[in-house]
Chain A
């Protein structure tokens, strides 16, 4: 180096040194803390509107050369405000910052090479009037708004930030918001541009508490520790590396339409390595939660809790594909929904799967999924595509591994398992495979196709109600789409070896079905949440059901179908069933057993739950057929045969198309309609029936034995037990005529046998009207006579029945008449002395005891008997008398016989009966009691006798049960003038009127009936 240059450089250096020394010297003089601190305090007092305390301020050059460092100690800003939690706005123990002067001079950049904040505290507050305690700077209104702050930040970069024990709080009463943190220690070795928000660095962070709350939400984090972490972001790529992040506890509340409350304890993230490079992520690391608790909804709509959660989910990507192979394990998972209760209770769940998605995040695939829930294992595959924003497509293929029912039940939460208390069941479940392909659109969920296949073996079930059930095998298959239109879900099941038994000390119920198949088709709109429509077919080869060894039912080939449409009619369920079986046998102890051939029942019902009455609720329409029925009933000594029954019914009427019933000697064919069923059940109307009864033979004696006791109920029996009756109450219950019914049976019976008599061509109406049974104008014939009968039977109470009749025997042999109606011989004993044809008219009524015996005090009857040319004596007697009394030409016959009888109050009155015989004429009259010893009192008035030419009277008295002691006395001829109008007295006139009243009223009934028949 040449000397001048050297001297020049030395001179410049010396000058520069002098200059530096001069600057330093000046700085030491001008900016030393003794001079600088008062200066700052002065400016602070001028620009800060509240109390400000500053310990000291120091500006150094040498110790931080080439940086300028500023150090501020013991700063306090105090601004008391009402409602503020603290008067102190800001408290700083020490603030230290270094600025690179050379960078500023050369590059116009503000580079803060170091920033340290120690023991600081900030208490920011905004009161309800939006006045802040940190609004403390006095601004000159004339000054223009500072627009340089942004440009300053643009030029600013930060390095080496150190914060120790920072506490800060912010309370905003205007917005009802509060945030705070305490114990914050931060060490950030960073290179960050505040302009670009780029940079990176190493971070160590500790926070004792971080808290935020407003009117709806809050978040709380306790003891957050982040160590040796590194952040990097250059505006394009980013990376985060977290060797360890731990948070002792976290609690979050997010409120809105639904509130979400999450509590997490002991969260640790280890080796988290997140990179974002060229737009592609890479994530690796594990997350461990000691336990967590999430509640959704103000009223615990949903609740999830865990004891420990481990998540390891590395993510890698290519420009086309993002892939992760995840492993998660959850201990003691509990899940509850308010509407369903606890659905999972302390379950251990582990899952491992490989998931991938395209870079557009529109196509997701989960494969190789292996999930274990308790001891259950689920494997499968799922694919979801949302490329079309209007539709989400998904298909899944899942397989539940083989297991046992006991293991599955072990997963049932306690709240549900309590419902299973007392139930023991186990079965072996084969692996269950489910395949489904579906779409979700705005319009709803659409299942494209689905299949399920499973099998259950060796089911054993028992519970504390003593019910036990078992089956050998059940195979179940579900397929969609199915049906001719492809809009149905098909469910097929085959069940074999089913046995059901319920037994306790008092009853024993047992049923077995060796083999049954059930096919169900459900219309697919059920998937959309619509009411289902299903078609069911079942085939039960054999059914055997028993109860207490007293009731046994067996069916063969029970087949049927059912269509159930839950939405066919608005808010109603339509049910259409068809059932058929080839044979049925049934036994009810010793009281009944029977068997049938084919039985069919078709039922169409529309179920409306809004209705109250059963028939309105179901509106049933049904048809029923039965063939070859044969029943034996205890107490009925005959088989009851039902060769054929065809019937149909709806809620208003039942139609008996054909019903053949054979009992003993009787065969009954019934057809007709029973109506008003629904109104009858509602007690609004009588049950009406119009039936045709046709028969070749009716054995009335057998049928009357059968119907004894019909209609009696416990109430009536109880009433009967309280009745102070003289009749024997131990007799069988009588036939009680149903009340509230009106049945008309049009009978056409070829032969009725009754009391060893046969009646032919029995035709007429049998009506049962509200407790009254009427045989109306029943006409019939027998070998002895033509007959007409109208009869009435009522049963107002058990021991006071009522019977009324109007009976006409036309052109009948007297002996046959007495044989037909034996009671006539009791009432008119002398009638048996006549022989020949007569007409017999009888009308009467009587109350009856429960055993149908008449209450004689109520027996009322009138009878008229008319005969001509009746034989009165046997031939030998007649021939003897004839020699002395009669002409040679006189025959053993009387010309006419006209008898009028009346019965009432246990007495029978024989009204004066005129008997004409040859030259003789006599009038017989009197009465006798028809009970007990049957005392009688008769008078014979001989009004015509050629031997004496005058009148003669004979009184005959005695008891009919003691004919050996009858008293005969000559007496007055009471009726000498009965048929002499000019001499007839008042009593005799009245007697003839009554006699005429009886005769004409009875005969009038015959005429009326004949007219009616015509």
Chain B
């Protein structure tokens, strides 16, 4: 790791010496409107299997609050429904946010959240993770 950091620091110093200014602009945000948000909140409810894995996601209905709850679990690791990660979720203009429960508190954000939802149909979800990976999920029930 020292090597990595040594490289990072050298690169940082080198970059500054080039007087190259690459910060002229930041990436544009892709925000979604309220109508779409409400549509997604309804359509996402159910149990989904992430394609190419045995990772299940269950989004429970929103209820009366602004956040809803759910769970994900990975059958590859002999984890069954009820034994997985309980989370609360909400969708805002920035996308789908998932925060996991540790102990009694929801304090652990999903490392790939917020998920930028591209589409939700009755059988498929397509989203992009915060670090830019596209993922699709298929509804199982």
Contacts and interface: CB of A to CB of B under 8 A. Distances in A.
Given A857-B73, A947-B16, 8 more contacts: A843-B107, A857-B76, A857-B77, A860-B108, A902-B111, A904-B85, A942-B15, A963-B4
Interface string A344-379: 000000000000000000000000000000000000
Interface string A945-982: 10111111110100000010010101111101100000
Contacts of B12: 922, 940, 942, 952, 954
B10 to A, nearest CB: 8
A387 interface: no
Contacts of A847: 77, 79, 83
A306 interface: no
Contacts of B26: 972-974, 976-977, 985
10 contacts: A843-B107, A849-B78, A856-B77, A905-B112, A947-B19, A954-B15, A966-B4, A990-B94, A994-B99, A994-B109
Given A725-B78, A829-B1, A952-B22, A860 B111 contact: no
B97 interface: yes
Contacts of B2: 832-833
B140 interface: no
Contacts of A966: 4, 7
B131 interface: yes
Contacts of A844: 102, 108
Interface string B28-47: 01010000000000000000
Contact of B83 (A800, A904, A971): A800
Contacts of B97: 990
Interface string B17-29: 1111111011101
Contacts, number: 187
A903 interface: yes
Interface of A: 723-727, 796, 799-800, 804, 806, 825, 829-830, 832-833, 843-845, 847, 849, 855-858, 860-862, 873, 877, 881, 884-885, 902-905, 907-909, 922, 926-927, 937, 940, 942, 945, 947-954, 956, 963, 966, 968, 970-974, 976-977, 985-987, 990, 994, 997-998, 1001-1002
Contacts of B55: 857, 905
A976 B97 CA distance: 23
Contacts of B20: 948, 952, 970
A968 B102 CA distance: 35
* Secondary structure of the B contact surface, majority rule: mixed
Nearest to B21: A950
A952 B23 contact: yes
A832 to B, nearest CB: 5
Contacts of A800: 78-80, 83
A909 B102 contact: no
B114 interface: yes
B100 interface: yes
B79 A858 contact: yes
A907 B98 CA distance: 14
B81 interface: no
Contact of B102 (A724, A804, A877, A970): A804
A963 B1 CA distance: 8
Nearest to A942: B12
Interface of B: 1-13, 15-23, 25-27, 29, 31, 55, 72-74, 76-80, 83-85, 92-94, 97, 99-103, 105, 107-112, 114, 131
A920 to B, nearest CB: 8
A927 B111 CA distance: 7
A610 to B, nearest CB: 45
A472 B117 CA distance: 94
Given A804-B102, A968-B7, A947 B17 contact: yes
B89 to A, nearest CB: 13
A520 to B, nearest CB: 62
A694 to B, nearest CB: 29
Nearest to B28: A985
Contact of B94 (A804, A881, A987, A997): A987
A53 B97 CA distance: 138
A953 B79 CA distance: 40
A953 to B, nearest CB: 6
Given A858-B77, A858-B79, A909-B111, A968 B13 contact: no
B107 A1001 contact: yes
Nearest to A950: B21
Q: Which of A832, A858, A954, A966 has the most CB of B within 10 A?
A: A858
Given A843-B107, A942-B16, A948-B16, A726 B77 contact: yes
A921 B74 CA distance: 40
A947 B12 CA distance: 11
Contacts of B25: 972
B16 A952 contact: yes
A804 B103 contact: yes
Given A940-B8, A947-B16, A954-B11, A902 B109 contact: yes
Which 10 pairs between the two chains have the least Cβ-Cβ distance? A951-B23, A857-B74, A907-B111, A909-B111, A950-B21, A973-B23, A725-B78, A855-B77, A1001-B107, A947-B16
